[in-house]
Amino acid sequence: MHKLAIYLAATAALAFTGSAGAQGYPERSITMVVPFAAGGPTDTVTRLVAESMSKDLGQQIIVENVGGAGGTLGASQVAKADPDGYTLLLHHIGMATSATLYRKLPYDTLNAFEYVGLVTDVPMTIVAKKDFEPTDLKGLIEYVKANADKVSLANAGIGAASHLCGMLFMSEIKTPLVTVPYKGTGPAMTDLLGGQVDLMCDQTTNTTKQIKGGTIKAYAVTSPKRLDALPDLPTVAEGGLPGMQVGIWHGIYAPKGTPAEVTQKLSASLQKALKDPNVVARFAELGTVPSSEAEATPEGLKSRLESEVTRWKPVIEAAGQYAD
Amino acid sequence: MDLLNNLALGFATAASPWNLLFCLTGVLLGTLIGVLPGIGATATIAMLLPITFQLEPVSSLIMLAGIYYGAQYGGSTTAILINMPGESSSAVTAIDGYQMARRGRAGAALAIAAIGSFFAGTVSTVLVAVFAPPLTAIALQFGSAEYFSLMIVGLVSSIALAHGSVVKALGMVVLGLLLGLVGTDIYTGTPRFNLGILELSDGLNFVALAVGVFGIAEILRNLENEHERDVVIKKVTNLWPTREDWKAMTAPILRGTVIGSALGILPGGGAILASFASYTVEKRISNTPGEFGKGAIAGVAGPESANNAGAQTSFIPMLTLGIPANPVMALMIGAMIIQGIVPGPNVATEQPALFWGIIASMWIGNLMLILLNLPLIGLWVKLLTIPYYMLFPAIIAFCSIGVYSVNSNVFDLYAVAFFGLLGYGLAKLRCEPAPLLLGFVLGPLLEEHLRRAMIMSRGDPSTFVTRPISLILLLLAAAVLVVVLLPSIRKKRDEVFVED
């Protein structure tokens, strides 16, 4: 029955429990919850950072995927966890938008967590099917305004990064389009590749390789500066849409009440991980850069979360689309 | 002779001792987790991801791929032995496979499944190697209108899954469709039938449903009449397929391979139809449709081949487009990204050793699987001789661990218990769980593609008949309906649906 042994060992490793003070933290493995499915962009970011932080902390960080309900299931699980520093959450911009998208959340977004720091700010790209007519962002805006009833805009589901970016795009060019939701980025990208749908705005983690491969057309990147990975792609500001600057920022959280020494220690470890050449290189391939040392702090994450909750509230309310 | 050069490169990569070892590790692990009820490839690969960071990219992907198709092999083992399918594909195998086991032919059923899978795996690997790029171009022609029409074909044909009352089978399909609606409307974000429970906002968990209505319900039924079960075990006779078995399985394996390969290429949910479609075809063209549901060999050989062929060809969209066809592929893409390879349209030219190495390893892995599985059959069958009072608590424990490991969510365990009771109730009413499962899988896809096609056509339903592929599929569905309804063929139909 060696299969039994393997399985029991695996479960036992995951189920370690106990408690410890801040001294000597961490004394055992840490669970980092990702509120999305394994294999997605957020999961990838988490695993890269977790691996590097594990080396620094001398304890294994186990990534646990608790997907569902736009990330709110995973977040609520961590909000209820023991505040001992052994359960952490890595969540993206959805932490801020779900505060408005969901009218009934089982936790209070701004008061249920302690903060470790920002991890990265993944830029978005405005992309279209390969043979889409317009050649640049200005041309795209004109074309879309003139053909608003014909253009379809894909997104990966309510609350997804591509949904937020699409809402922002429509509100910036003041033209409502037909939006086509998909279950996740994969099918949305498939239809964009096949020319079944016209436009999408999605994270560089999903689009960079396709843009480089020439299978889709890119108009602009939503970061303040051009990307090293896509040097020919102008920014939204260059293209005349400065209000489109948006990033899918990722941060690490701990349950409310986690000792400050613990979050400080994690924060210091995060800052080191973000300078790890391996992490930097992988992030670059995905078209993103690690957050700065000033941002990768509890204060940096707290202020970002607060300002983003405020920023997205009116955009979501104007669109009138809620997730519950 | 690019192809030969490429294949040579692939085999040189995959056959290095180190990579052979990882391939073996992968298929071994895959078989083991496949055999454990409820534990799927997705959860295992997710758990093993951190280990792969330390390996060469090719080695780690070869190992992960091995787990994936190893689990496809192993999954049919539990479906046959204890009526416990872990995935939609093996749900079909359970129908006739488990009946074969009850007739004392578990060994033959397992062997047929393994042989069919190996053949299908070999053919579809060649397909992947030779036709990946052109096949991808065809797959991209499938928009939502085409997928909708494909699902209609699937739904219309699904009634053939029943081996009892047609009305009850229809009822089960509809119940499955309705269960599939639980969750969040992806177009408006409106919650549906979630009873205010946040865990239900992404719908019911397939594994929980399948394990409940098939496995747990079966355990409850077995506990009801335990003496009957002991009789079954004592009857276990020959482990290997007889000459008649070989004859009976050849054609279904060939047909299953074709069906599975074709459907596996479609990234929008084609592969899940593979085993259902194959079963339907086999039952339709069989001379003895009454045998289906009572241990028909074609009912195991066809779907098993289709399912493995689909599993292999579903690598095509991932390798050529960088797009995941299912959650396992999404994990593999995640693994590649962490290794510094961002999968996309250029992987074949930028990383030829990786691309062709994976393809070559698929065939090597399939070879290992059959060498591994045939001798193990005797062992698996012995498992049935374990006293049931020891076996069933172990099964329930493994199921719980497996279901929990999918989302790390306790709610899914309550769902298993609920569906176990529901499945038991349905069994008492002589309602089949397989059509229910098909409805559950098809329902959300049907709705999603119908509504998306209508959004894209701005509300014009003619989109389904003006797009040629969609039109052909709808005509096919109509033809199936005609066959079922026409009075002249009704006699044949009555033979297909023999009432209990």
Whether residue A15 is contained in a domain is answered as no
Nearest-angstrom CA–CA distance, B361 and B69: 11
Whether residue A128 is found in the same domain as residue A149 = yes
Whether residue A22 is contained in a domain is answered as no
Whether residue A172 is contained in a domain is answered as yes
Q: What is the pLDDT of residues B8-59, one digit of tens each?
A: 888 888 889 989 999 999 998 888 877 776 666 777 787 777 777 778 888 8
Per-residue confidence (pLDDT) for residue B226, from 0 to 100: 64
Residue after which a domain boundary falls, among A227, A244, A261: A244
R_g of chain A computed on alpha carbons: 20
Nearest-angstrom CA–CA distance, B393 and A263: 43
Whether residue A166 is found in the same domain as residue A90 = no
The range of the structural domain enclosing residue A268 comes to: 27-121+248-319
* pLDDT of A273 over the 80 cut: yes
Whether residue A177 is found in the same domain as residue A254 = no
Of B199, B323, B337, nearest to A73 by CB-CB distance is: B199
- The 3-state DSSP class for residue A67 equals coil
Per-residue confidence (pLDDT) for residue B34, from 0 to 100: 78
Angle at alpha carbon of residue B387, lines to B30 and B214, rounded to 5°: 55
Nearest-angstrom CA–CA distance, B144 and A184: 15
Angle at alpha carbon of residue A195, lines to A191 and A200, rounded to 5°: 65
Whether residue A234 is found in the same domain as residue A254 = no
Q: Which of A185-189, A214-218, B7-11, B34-38 has the highest mean pLDDT?
A: A214-218
Q: What is the pLDDT of residues A6-40, one digit of tens each?
A: 444 444 444 443 344 456 888 888 999 998 877 67
Residue after which a domain boundary falls, among A205, A229, A244: A244
Categorize the per-residue pLDDT at A298 as very low, low, confident or very high, splitting at 50, 70 and 90: very high
State whether B345 and A215 contact (CB < 8 Å): yes
Q: Is the backbone peptide bond immediately before A26 cis, with ω within 30 degrees of 0?
A: yes
Whether residue A109 is found in the same domain as residue A127 = no
Nearest-angstrom CA–CA distance, B248 and B422: 35
Residues of chain B with pLDDT under 70: 1, 37-40, 86-88, 158-164, 226-238, 267-271, 325, 342, 345-346, 406-407, 484-500
Whether residue A142 is found in the same domain as residue A103 = no
Per-residue confidence (pLDDT) for residue A18, from 0 to 100: 38
Q: Which amino acid is located at B468 in the chain?
A: P
Q: Which amino acid is located at B256 in the chain?
A: G
Per-residue confidence (pLDDT) for residue B159, from 0 to 100: 66
Q: How many domains does chain B fold into? A: 1
Whether residue A1 is contained in a domain is answered as no
Whether residue A79 is found in the same domain as residue A100 = yes
Whether residue A268 is found in the same domain as residue A235 = no
What does the pLDDT average to over A146-171?
Answer: 88
Whether residue A128 is found in the same domain as residue A275 = no
* pLDDT-above-70 percentage for chain A: 92
- CATH code, domain carrying A185: 3.40.190.10
When scoring B142, B188, B198 by the number of chain A Cβ atoms within 10 A, the one with the most, hence best to mutate, is B198
Write the CB contacts of B447 (distance below 8 Å, at least 6 apart in sequence).
B180, B181
CB of A233 less than 8 A from some CB of B: no
Per-residue confidence (pLDDT) for residue B160, from 0 to 100: 60
For all residues of chain A together, what is the average pLDDT?
A: 86
State whether B456 and A180 contact (CB < 8 Å): yes
Whether residue A110 is contained in a domain is answered as yes
Q: Which amino acid is located at B319 in the chain?
A: L
Q: What six digits make up the tokens of A305?
A: 């979360």
R_g of chain B computed on alpha carbons: 22
Residue in chain A closest to B451 (alpha carbons) equals: A180
Per-residue confidence (pLDDT) for residue A250, from 0 to 100: 95
Write the CB contacts of B118 (distance below 8 Å, at least 6 apart in sequence).
B308, B366, B367, B369, B370
Whether residue A83 is found in the same domain as residue A32 = yes
A87: enclosing H helix or E strand:
strand A87-91
Whether residue A9 is contained in a domain is answered as no
Per-residue confidence (pLDDT) for residue B38, from 0 to 100: 64
The range of the structural domain enclosing residue B239 comes to: 2-499
First to last CA, chain A: 46
Q: What is the pLDDT of residues A59-73, one digit of tens each?
A: 989 888 877 777 888
- The 3-state DSSP class for residue B5 equals helix
The count of C-alpha atoms lying within 13 angstroms of the C-alpha of B435, restricted to the half-sphere facing its C-beta, is 28
Q: What six digits make up the tokens of B306?
A: 């289709």
* pLDDT of A246 over the 60 cut: yes
Q: Which amino acid is located at B73 in the chain?
A: Y
Q: What six digits make up the tokens of A151?
A: 């253009």
Per-residue confidence (pLDDT) for residue A57, from 0 to 100: 92
Per-residue confidence (pLDDT) for residue B486, from 0 to 100: 61
Q: How many domains does chain A fold into? A: 2
Of A76, A149, A190, nearest to B267 by CB-CB distance is: A190
CB of A182 less than 8 A from some CB of B: yes
Categorize the per-residue pLDDT at A237 as very low, low, confident or very high, splitting at 50, 70 and 90: very high
Write the CB contacts of B459 (distance below 8 Å, at least 6 apart in sequence).
none
What does the pLDDT average to over A47-52?
Answer: 91
Whether residue A146 is found in the same domain as residue A253 = no
* pLDDT of A276 over the 80 cut: yes
Per-residue confidence (pLDDT) for residue A143, from 0 to 100: 95
Per-residue confidence (pLDDT) for residue A15, from 0 to 100: 44
Per-residue confidence (pLDDT) for residue A110, from 0 to 100: 92
Whether residue A14 is contained in a domain is answered as no
Per-residue confidence (pLDDT) for residue A20, from 0 to 100: 43
* pLDDT of A162 over the 80 cut: yes
Whether residue A292 is found in the same domain as residue A208 = no
Per-residue confidence (pLDDT) for residue B70, from 0 to 100: 85
Residue after which a domain boundary falls, among A192, A227, A244: A244
